[in-house]
Amino acid sequence: MTYKTIIIGTGPAGLTAAIYLARANMEPLVIEGWQPGGQLTTTTEVENFPGFPDGILGSELMSNMRKQAQRFGAKFKTGSVKSVDFSKRPYTLDVEGIGELQADSIIISTGASAKYLGIPGEQENIGRGVSTCATCDGFFFRGKKIIVVGGGDSAMEEAVFLTRFASEVRLVHRRDELRASKIMQDRARANDKIVWSLNRTPLEVAATGMGLQGLKVRNNETGEEELLESDGLFVTIGHTPNTGFLGGQIDTDEQGYIIVKPGTSETNIPGVYACGDVQDRNYRQAITAAGSGCMAALDCERFLESQAHEAVHA
Ligand code: NAP
């Protein structure tokens, strides 16, 4: 069978697209990967998604969006898309665990994955002091000491943002020189709540059952190891958009983010749309992802209607 539309990914972008398309009787099929719900399921409480004055757990928010999409008839299948063929319509997806699927239109909402340091103690303390999202989790560190790892614009931005809550933000970077733009560096350097530990390589996240102790680092000048004490650790060393499976068939920028036509969700292939973090290197918020998912659904719906109209008048 050929689906009208297949949505790849079940973060807030994909699920919002599913709600809109299902409600418009477009019977979308949603491909759910091995981390259903996306990045929000790795955070604890979401306090900045409008409509939840008391906050909501990330996992609950995603589960609610999924139920809402199902209520209008969206179907879900679990699998990981290995490759795509966008050379002719209907478009074909090769999905691990399912096989080949075909659809007249595709919405790509596979998100981006925050990069981690890959050091001992890091993974087991995600949500227990280790985070990759200052906007999501900064609030929990009011009056506490925080370490931010990274030397790029994101690290500067997150460090400055976190000074709103923390008593001290320590910026740890593996080199002497920062990668960040001058303006972002200047902004961080002007903030007297930020202290600097440059030329330090992160070695291990130290924690007790009660919380973080800090970050063990090696001083690259002296070779000595030290424990930098902190209650929270924000890893801000970049994101990787999940676009590898597209095999270069969709235009991306040099970092792999899908390029959409300004003000739309259209990619370079007619009938293929992108929304959420896979096409957004700037905002990366649940609410902006959901908004772009709505745009993709409306763009897709118009495309399918125009195709149906053309078929009738052919
Ligand atoms: P980025 O520019 O790639 O910087 C990543 C930083 O993390 C680098 O300093 C890098 O160190 C460090 N790093 C990477 N892997 C590491 C590891 N395994 N261990 C320790 N450190 C590691 O990423 P980003 O800061 O997320 O920025 C991404 C893009 O978004 C950039 O183009 C940036 O300009 C843009 N952005 C702009 C703004 C803004 O203008 N408001 C805000 C945020 C992001 P090295 O320097 O040693 O490689």
CA dist 29 to 2, 92, 108, 248, 276, Å?
A: 10, 13, 12, 23, 18
At the fourth CATH level, the homologous superfamily of domain 116-235 is: FAD/NAD(P)-binding domain (3.50.50.60)
Residue of 137, 231, 277, 280 with catalytic role:
137
- Asked if residue 172 lies in contact with residue 217, where contact means CB atoms within 8 angstroms, the answer is yes
Give the pLDDT confidence score for residue 310 in this predicted structure: 79
Integer Cα distance of 97 and 59 in angstroms: 24
Strand pairing class (145-149; 232-235): parallel
pLDDT over 90 at 161, yes or no: yes
Closest by CA position to 140, among listed 47, 37, 4, 241: 47
Pocket mutation for ligand 1, best pick of 133, 149, 154 (most atoms within 8 Å of C-beta) = 154
- Structure-token match 């909402």, residue found: 109
Judge if the beta carbon of residue 152 lies within 6 A of ligand 1: yes
Q: Is the CB of 176 under 6 A from ligand 1?
A: no
State what percent of residues in the chain have pLDDT above 70. 98
pLDDT for the residue numbered 281: 87
Per residue in 62-121, pLDDT (tens digit) is 999 999 999 999 999 999 999 999 999 999 999 998 999 999 999 999 999 889 999 999
* Angle at CA of residue 8, ends 93 and 136, nearest 5°: 155
- Could you give the percent of the chain with pLDDT greater than 90? 84
Nearest CA to ligand 1 atom 15: 237
User: Same CATH topology for 2-113+239-312 and 116-235?
Assistant: yes
Q: Find out whether the beta carbon of 187 lies less than 6 Å from any atom of ligand 1.
A: no
Q: In a 10 Å sphere around its CB, with 0-12 CB exposed, 13-18 middle and 19+ buried, how is residue 98 labelled?
A: middle
Class of domain 2-113+239-312: alpha beta
Q: What distance in angstroms lies between residue 237's CA and the mean position of ligand 1's atoms?
A: 5
Residue of 54, 85, 133, 153 marked active site:
133
List the domain boundaries for the chain: 2-113+239-312, 116-235
40 contacts 59 by C-beta, under 8 angstroms:
yes
Average pLDDT (277-290) is 93
